Structure 1
Amino acid sequence: MSGLTLAEGAGSFLFHDVGAVPGPRTMRVFSFCPGSSTRHTRIIMAMHGVDRAAAEFRDLLAPQAERNGQIVLVPEFDPDQFPGVHAYNFGGVRRPPPDNTVLPRDHWNFGVIDRLFHHVRQAIGSSRETFGLFGNSAGAQFVLRYLALNEAASVDLAVAANCGCYMLPSLTKDYPDGMGGIGLDESYLRRYLARPLVILLGDADNDPNDPHLPRWDEAMAQGPHRLARGLWHFDHCKELARGLGVALGWRLEIAPGAGHVDQLIYDQGADILIG
């Protein structure tokens, strides 16, 4: 795969993730490369939704990425290799209920993002040492957990859009609802709250009867719909940061008129990640 080239426009390639544990695996990655691409072109890693529709997600991000001059990479977390929300949205940290076993850190699924970036960077001769990270809905769940639980040293800015519910930066609430029970300490909370992160919300993502809205007790406690939950969570984390004496690295952006799955969200996300 060292001969990887990203053709102009939409494409895809197979990434042989030799660093995966318990063993190597292959993932398809859907890519977009703007006509203006050079070795200095910005790279955006984008996390698809619960539908696992990576190609469609790439296509939605492509128009603004072309205008902005951004390479987009969308790794496909197919349901055969990553079954259910625990393996994708929640990063493969614990086995699903009723087992709930916490897996060893090297089994968690977040590391594929860094390995993919470094593989592509080297293969195409990119001068970029960092990337932007974007996720909407289930993809935003992955983005936030990746930032909270990992060093994420290569991410310079992240956007988490229209999350259905939020993992709380709390060590007293067990993962996946909080960050407790998986071997973390307060330094993880401090680092997470200091991250360069934009919480992006569509102000029309406010349907309490949306059939895909998470409805378990922890989710409902955050608000009646996604917009309310996002606003509540941002305020909650501002107070947490203040209590810990951390300068909050996050900011809140609203996409006027945007619903849950909306081109306005994708365009605004790409614009934020111009960097």
Structure 2
Amino acid sequence: MMKPLSILLLGTLMSLNAHAADQAVKSISPDRLQINGTTQATLGLSQNWVHPSPQVQRVVIVFHGRLRNAQTYLRSVERAANQSRQRAKTLLIAPQFLDEKDIAAHRLPDSVLRWHANDWMAGEKSLGAKPVSSFVVIDHILKRLSDSKLFPNLKEIVIAGHSGGAQVVQRYAMIGGKEDALLKKEGIKLRYVIANPSSYAYFDATRPVAVDAASCPTFDTWKYGLNKLPAYAGKETPAELEAAYVKRDITYLLGELDTDPEHPALDKDCGAEAQGPQRLARGHNYFDYLTKRHPEGLNQRLVEVKNVGHNGDAIFTSPEGQTALFKAN
């Protein structure tokens, strides 16, 4: 029996996406942010952020997935902002975590940050003489945004990501927060939107799927658990990290159709498989895990996006995505 054309096309698209993840990116985002004076992070901006911007009341920081296609994600949230009629008062930022091959292909200077493979998803350090955690890049963005001289009317920052980018956001929400006090002092609210990640970091060894620690010794190590945290995490205990995490304003966006256990971009490591067979199940399992641990309630919510699979543009431009990005709950 011949397969339907739609299935064949979907398989071809997935194969192309898997291949693209192993290639140098076609587009390098044009903007730079100085980190520690000697290195530069790469990012895209919807408008200039060098001069005072009194019109900006909200900032959305969106993170790409493993394809490192930051400009694609920037265009997606631009469409969502236009549809929500929020574009005029919103600054959109799309950081780009480059790979070694991107630097070589585009002949970028040594000062531009680059990571090995997908290390940036877990907050690991960049390559080079002066390594920098990908989470430090986020800290520097937030610090700049807290400058009341540049953004005197900024009231809210939304940190959002899809797929691999959602892994960044979930882990940063867990062990990040070095700029929280400064943002609070300036009266700036911080929210998180986590869309369709392959996996989550758990606070203990509990998992929805039985796991044999002998055959999967890394199931509870970072980025799946809190063992062997990166240096960025500091000295907070797991209990302290959890207490801070559950207070964060987080929306988990899950595509109703993101249910393929063989998706080429799905994490199939045993540590991820212990969380469920596919992304939709893993998201529900994680939220159930949190609600059981915190029956007093969470400052968080899970939203399923109907008729959407593993598609960042469809997630963020959906009515549910627009609400999560641009309308405080």
Normalised by the size of structure 2, how large is the TM-score?
A: 0.68
Deviation of 1:129 (Å): 5.6
Task: Give the structure 1 partner of residue 307 of structure 2.
Answer: 257
Task: Give the structure 2 partner of residue 91 of structure 1.
Answer: 123
Query: Out of 165, 168, 192, which is 2:199 matched to?
Result: 165
Q: Give the whole-Å Cα distance in 2 for the aligned partners of 1:221 and 1:252.
A: 20
Number of aligned residues: 245
Task: Give the structure 2 partner of residue 72 of structure 1.
Answer: 92
Q: Is the 8 A contact 1:169 1:237 kept in 2?
A: no
Asked if 1:16 corresponds to 2:68, the answer is no
- Residues 108 and 205 of structure 1: CA distance in aligned 2, closer, same or farther (over 3 Å): same
Over alpha carbons, which structure has the higher Rg?
2
Q: Give the whole-Å Cα distance in 2 for the aligned partners of 1:252 and 1:129.
A: 24
Q: Give the whole-Å Cα distance in 1 for the aligned partners of 2:322 and 2:168.
A: 18
Q: Give the whole-Å Cα distance in 2 for the aligned partners of 1:12 and 1:121.
A: 22
Task: Give the structure 1 partner of residue 67 of structure 2.
Answer: 51
Q: Give the whole-Å Cα distance in 2 for the aligned partners of 1:234 and 1:118.
A: 30
Q: Give the whole-Å Cα distance in 1 for the aligned partners of 2:150 and 2:56.
A: 9
Task: Give the structure 1 partner of residue 324 of structure 2.
Answer: 272
Q: Is the 8 A contact 1:46 1:74 kept in 2?
A: yes
Task: Give the structure 1 partner of residue 104 of structure 2.
Answer: none
Task: Give the structure 2 partner of residue 101 of structure 1.
Answer: none
How do 1:171-186 and structure 2 match up within 5 A?
A: 173-182=220-229, 183-185=235-237, 186=239
Q: Is the 8 A contact 2:126 2:132 kept in 1?
A: no
Deviation of 1:144 (Å): 0.7
Residues 179-211 of structure 1: CA distance to partner in whole angstroms, max 9, x if unpaired?
A: 133344111111112211011100011111211
How do 1:119-134 and structure 2 match up within 5 A?
A: 119=144, 122=147, 125-127=150-152, 128=154, 130-134=156-160
Which region of structure 1 is more displaced relative to structure 2, 55-64 or 171-180? 171-180
Q: Give the whole-Å Cα distance in 1 for the aligned partners of 2:125 and 2:286.
A: 22
Q: Give the whole-Å Cα distance in 2 for the aligned partners of 1:78 and 1:120.
A: 23
Task: Give the structure 2 partner of residue 63 of structure 1.
Answer: 79
Query: Out of 283, 289, 292, which is 1:239 matched to?
Result: 292
Q: Give the whole-Å Cα distance in 1 for the aligned partners of 2:286 and 2:126.
A: 23
Task: Give the structure 1 partner of residue 42 of structure 2.
Answer: 28
- Residues 184 and 178 of structure 1: CA distance in aligned 2, closer, same or farther (over 3 Å): farther
- Residues 184 and 121 of structure 1: CA distance in aligned 2, closer, same or farther (over 3 Å): closer
Q: Give the whole-Å Cα distance in 2 for the aligned partners of 1:62 and 1:124.
A: 25
Q: Which amino acid aligns with 1:214?
A: D
**Percent of aligned pairs with the same residue?**
24
Deviation of 1:54 (Å): 0.7
Unaligned runs of 5+ residues in structure 2 are: 1-28, 101-113, 184-188, 207-219, 230-234
Unaligned runs of 5+ residues in structure 1 are: 1-10, 96-105
Q: Which amino acid aligns with 2:92?
A: V
Q: Which amino acid aligns with 2:122?
A: F
Normalised by the size of structure 1, how large is the TM-score?
A: 0.80
Deviation of 1:158 (Å): 0.5
Query: How large is the Cα RMSD of the aligned pairs?
Result: 2.7
Where 1:126 maps in the other structure, the secondary structure is: coil
Q: Which amino acid aligns with 1:271?
A: T
